[in-house]
């Protein structure tokens, strides 16, 4: 009888000790707070980036229907993700394999000059990388440097999971950005995300995906005065980790005059980091080519190539691009949007825009606006609210835009139109 009771007791213990079908072995909703929670002994001081990456990979595992998502721990991830394999300093790029699935993680710069611009960039990233974005900034939180996992954005509100509220006994799950310990998103400068997943059924992120190696926001010289500098700009990015990014200047015979290469490791790179090494002021008079090349894990490519000149007395390139011009006829009461970017290789001292009546011999402007940019580029859409095309009565008018740089003055647009 005692033996029978012992057997029954062991069965009872086994049943109640086995993992519940609704716990670790299940695949929860991505909104479930349990996804964004780790035990206190799995967290070290300074593990905010590592923990946020943990949450991000868990989301990917759940989307892949992995029943072992809860066994992704900081301890396991630390070996692959951190410098030396046993620290809290997360690498810019690394691989992590779990349950037969390999995750490729890369990093990049969160660009933008203010909170709204950074939110716009983050919204674009979240739209592209559905597993979430680990967002980091020095002095970005009430505790100093910190990182959280941003998972979505609704009505301009960022939702994120923060290890500060999801460790040990605390388990807040996903919260509004303002409820985490992060301060303004304007303090955030860097991010990590999953750039590729190998294994499983997501063909859009398979290792056979085509490289999207590209450049955006490029700024290149056109005509330079000998001895003058020029600041390069542009973001190189790809869906694969970047191996090299090279900026060079060649003369008309193809000889390399200036060259600098970076090895980013992440999948995004800001060319301004190479700007101190590309010294345009060292070039003699002549014609040159400015070239940007890059290589990722899949291919190498020349992303940008343009010719420019260096001259002791370089001519002004004062012009307007992407400009909007009213048609010959404009319907009375109809608005017209002022658009265009004034550019020059010299400093732009003034930009003026006006609407005058062609029947008024005095040339007095009905509406006008002006600016003193003191820069080499100016967007005239800032004049839009002051040039009231919709207020014009029936008649004939002249729309004019002019500018002056350190070298010359020029009328950039002169358009006669009729309001009917």
Specify if 353 maps to a domain.
Answer: yes
Same domain, 28 and 135: yes
Domain check: are 66 and 198 in the same one?
yes
Task: Verify that 234 and 189 share a domain, yes or no.
Answer: no
> In tens digits, what is the pLDDT along the chain, a chain of 420 residues?
434 334 333 333 333 333 333 334 467 889 899 999 999 999 999 999 999 999 999 999 988 888 889 999 999 999 999 999 999 999 999 999 888 888 999 999 999 889 999 999 999 999 888 899 999 999 899 888 999 999 999 888 999 999 999 999 899 999 999 999 998 899 999 999 998 887 643 333 444 567 888 998 888 888 888 888 899 999 898 877 788 999 999 999 999 999 999 998 667 788 999 999 999 999 999 999 999 999 987 889 999 999 998 987 778 899 999 999 999 999 999 999 999 999 998 889 999 999 999 888 777 899 999 999 988 899 999 999 999 999 999 999 999 999 999 889 999 999 999 999
Q: Is the dihedral of CA 65, 71, 76, 78 positive or negative?
A: positive
Domain boundary among 205, 232, 267: 205
Residue 302 lies in a domain: yes
Nearest CA among 35, 64, 67, 70 for reference residue 52: 35
Same domain, 189 and 235: no
End residue of a domain, out of 162, 187, 205: 205
Strand order in the sheet with 268-270: 214-219, 233-237, 268-270
Helix (H, G, I), strand (E, B) or coil at 330: strand
pTM: 0.49
Do 369 and 295 fall into the same domain?
no
Is 62 in the same domain as 171?
A: yes
Query: Looking at the domain assignment, is residue 4 inside a domain?
Result: no
Asked which of 256, 287, 311 is the last residue of a domain, the reply is 311
**CATH classification of the domain holding 346:** 2.60.40.2550
309/290 Cα distance (integer angstroms): 10
In a domain, 85, yes or no: yes
Q: Are 169 and 293 contained in the same domain?
A: no
Same domain, 290 and 368: no
226 with 260, same domain: the answer is yes
3-state class (DSSP) for residue 133: strand
Burial 345-375 (b: 16+ CB within 10 A, else e): bbebebbbbbbbbeeeeeeebebebebebee
Tell whether 294 is covered by a domain: yes
Structural domain boundaries, residue 53: 20-205
| Residue 341 placed within a domain | yes
Burial class (CB in 10 A: 0-12, 13-18, 19+), 244: middle
Asked if the structure places residue 5 within a domain, the reply is no
Residue 236 and residue 165 in one domain: no
Is 6 contained in some domain?
no
Q: Say yes or no: 227 and 376 in one domain.
A: no
Asked if residue 377 and residue 331 are part of one domain, the reply reads yes
Say how many domains are in the chain: 3
């Amino acid at each position: 009888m005692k033996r029978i009771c012992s057997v029954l007791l062991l069965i009872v213990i086994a049943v109640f000790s086995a993992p519940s079908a609704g716990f670790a072995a299940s695949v929860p909703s991505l909104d479930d707070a349990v996804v964004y929670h780790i035990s206190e002994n799995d967290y070290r001081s300074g593990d905010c980036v590592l923990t946020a990456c943990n949450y991000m990979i868990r989301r990917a595992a759940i989307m892949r229907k992995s029943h072992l998502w809860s066994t992704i721990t900081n301890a396991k991830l630390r070996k692959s993700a951190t410098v030396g394999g046993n620290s809290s300093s997360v690498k810019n790029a690394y691989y992590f394999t779990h349950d037969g699935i390999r995750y490729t993680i890369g990093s990049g710069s969160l660009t933008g000059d203010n909170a709204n611009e950074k939110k716009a960039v983050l919204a674009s990233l979240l739209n592209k990388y559905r597993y979430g974005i680990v967002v980091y900034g020095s002095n970005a939180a009430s505790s100093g440097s910190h990182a959280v996992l941003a998972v979505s954005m609704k009505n301009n509100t960022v939702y994120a999971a923060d290890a500060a509220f999801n460790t040990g006994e605390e388990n807040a799950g996903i919260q509004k950005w303002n409820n985490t310990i992060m301060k303004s998103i304007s303090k955030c400068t860097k991010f990590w995300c999953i750039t590729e997943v190998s294994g499983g059924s997501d063909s859009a992120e398979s290792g056979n995906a085509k490289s999207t190696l590209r450049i955006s926001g490029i700024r290149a010289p056109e005509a330079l005065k000998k001895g003058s500098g020029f600041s390069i700009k542009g973001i190189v990015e790809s869906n694969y980790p970047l191996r090299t990014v090279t900026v060079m200047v060649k003369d008309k015979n193809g000889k390399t005059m200036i060259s600098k290469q970076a090895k980013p490791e992440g999948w995004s790179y800001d060319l301004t980091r190479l700007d101190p090494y590309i010294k345009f002021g060292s070039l003699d008079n002549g014609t040159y080519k400015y070239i940007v090349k890059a290589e990722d894990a899949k291919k190498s490519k020349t992303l940008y190539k343009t010719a420019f000149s260096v001259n002791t007395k370089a001519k002004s390139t004062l012009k307007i691009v992407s400009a909007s011009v009213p048609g010959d006829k404009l319907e009375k009461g109809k608005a017209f949007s002022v658009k265009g970017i004034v550019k020059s290789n010299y400093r732009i001292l003034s930009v003026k825009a006006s609407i005058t009546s062609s029947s008024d011999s005095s040339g007095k402007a009905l509406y006008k606006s002006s600016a003193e940019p003191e820069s080499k580029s100016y967007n005239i859409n800032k004049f839009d609210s002051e040039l009231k095309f919709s207020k014009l009565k029936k008649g004939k008018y002249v729309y004019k835009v002019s500018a002056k740089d350190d070298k010359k003055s020029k009328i950039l647009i002169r358009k006669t139109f009729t309001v009917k």
